[in-house]
Amino acid sequence: MTVSFNLNGNPVQFEGDPQTPILWVLRDHLDVTSPKYGCGAGLCGACTVHLEGNAIRSCSTPVSAAAGKKVVTLEGLPQKMGQALQSSWIEFDVPQCGYCQTGQMMSAADLLAKKKRPNPEEIKNAMSGNICRCGTYARIEKAIERAAD
Ligand code: FES
């Protein structure tokens, strides 16, 4: 079966099982490797991408759910948002091993798209589903506050 969707502004197609998780379609078929495989069970957030403007777990969302819709990865964030997050992540030296960070940034982008100036509690709540084994949470929270400035 063919599933067509829009990826970062471009039309793309996937030929195969429509139950294939979006994560594998992105990584293995479309060579977009910013979303990472962490738990594969919707629990860690490393695979976070946006589907129709909402952060989703691409490891546990079948590509059929993206048919005719817009998928955005870190590479396709609106320029202003992408730059704000990138520079605040650099300023606060956020990543340690870095593996979870694209997922963290995609959740942060989802939050900031919906709430211009989230307070610390809103940031904590919005980011609570993204796990970081290195414990970079405090820096992530500061970076989000800065990106919201
Ligand atoms: Fe998708 Fe962990 S890899 S939530």
CATH code: domain of residue 19: 3.10.20.30
What pLDDT sits at residue 48?
98
**Overall pTM surpassing 0.90 (yes/no):** yes
Q: What is the mean pLDDT of residues 127-149?
A: 97
In terms of domains, do 17 and 30 share one? yes
Distance CA 134, CA 67 (A): 35
Closest by Cα among 84, 83, 92, 79 to 141: 92
Domain count across the chain: 2
Are 88 and 111 in the same domain?
yes
At 37, the pLDDT band (50, 70, 90 cuts) reads very high
Which helix (H) or strand (E) covers residue 49, if one does? strand 48-51
Residue of 25, 34, 39, 128 with the most ligand 1 atoms within 8 Å of its CB, for mutation? 39
